[in-house]
Amino acid sequence: MRWRVRPRRGWLLPLLLGLATAAGAETGEDAPWRLGVHPFVATTEVMERFRPLVDHLSAETGEAFELHVANSYGAHVRAVGDGDVDLAYIGPAGFVRLWETHGEHPVLAREVLGSGASFRGVLVVREDHAIETLAQVAGHSVAFVDVDSTMGYRMPMALLERAGVAADDLGQKQFFGNHFDTASAVLLGDADVAAMREEMFERFEGRGLRALAYTPAVPRHPFVARRGLDAERREQWSAILIGLSGHADGPAVFAALGGNVAEFVSGTAEEYRGLREMLEVTR
């Protein structure tokens, strides 16, 4: 089996979306708080999606926030664990990895979609491909997102493992960096099978892709604070996130985030313990 990391289509260098003014920096004001996000879609799209939330946090706290988009899922986990960001939106598997490598971090909120508080991943193939079962994936090339992606690698790989297909049984294992590019890889013939979030598959369903198998549902993405952040700010930021559904800014923030995000609710690390145990097979 060959391992291969593919360059991302539309990949950009890590970007900082600064919301503090140059004048503020010159007058010696404190540095902005940093909201970190992993590159689950192209960096420019992440910036567009999260800009309204960053604006809202700045307005509600009276303090400047900026957005930091990591250049990989692993880099995002390290940034959170090392305290390089103050608040982070992180995938469930990324949170589990953070837990394993840097210890438990405070969960301030977790997202809920109109479809519920959990989500699934899916392994897909072209509509005309001969593969019909998970066992038949052995020997074929598979497009994944990132080794720390919940639905772009760890859950689908666990699904394959349980069907008797180990990583070494794959013909080629490629990482494309985001969910859109894994879908494109199958459509363009760069891979036979792809792993992605169910929401991404729904964008391509009926346009050349069909579902091979779905993963079990798991809790959705949490927002976590860096370790050492004072309790007063943790409570304030948590209240702001959870209160968005009743705020005038809520509809615009949720619409920008996309994916049918409906609200943020309270969450705990314990809600992800079952996922942590489930993912031990792909550690």
Token digits of residue 269: 């690390």
**Per-residue confidence (pLDDT) for residue 123, from 0 to 100:** 98
Q: Is the C-alpha dihedral spanning 147, 270, 261, 50 positive or negative?
A: negative
**Per-residue confidence (pLDDT) for residue 240, from 0 to 100:** 98
**Per-residue confidence (pLDDT) for residue 282, from 0 to 100:** 57
Q: Which of 171, 156, 197, 194 is CA-nearest to residue 281? A: 156
Residue pair 41/11 in contact by the 8 Å Cβ criterion: no
Token digits of residue 207: 């346009």
Give 150's Cβ-side CA count (13 Å radius).
29
Q: Is the C-alpha dihedral spanning 4, 125, 170, 152 positive or negative?
A: positive
**Per-residue confidence (pLDDT) for residue 274, from 0 to 100:** 78
**Per-residue confidence (pLDDT) for residue 257, from 0 to 100:** 95
Residue pair 122/152 in contact by the 8 Å Cβ criterion: no
**Per-residue confidence (pLDDT) for residue 139, from 0 to 100:** 97
3-state secondary structure of 153: helix
Give 11's Cβ-side CA count (13 Å radius).
13
Which residues of the chain carry a pLDDT beneath 70? 1-29, 115-117, 281-283
Each residue's pLDDT tens digit, 13-54: 344 444 333 333 333 357 999 999 999 888 999 999 999 999
**Per-residue confidence (pLDDT) for residue 232, from 0 to 100:** 97
What's the pTM?
A: 0.71
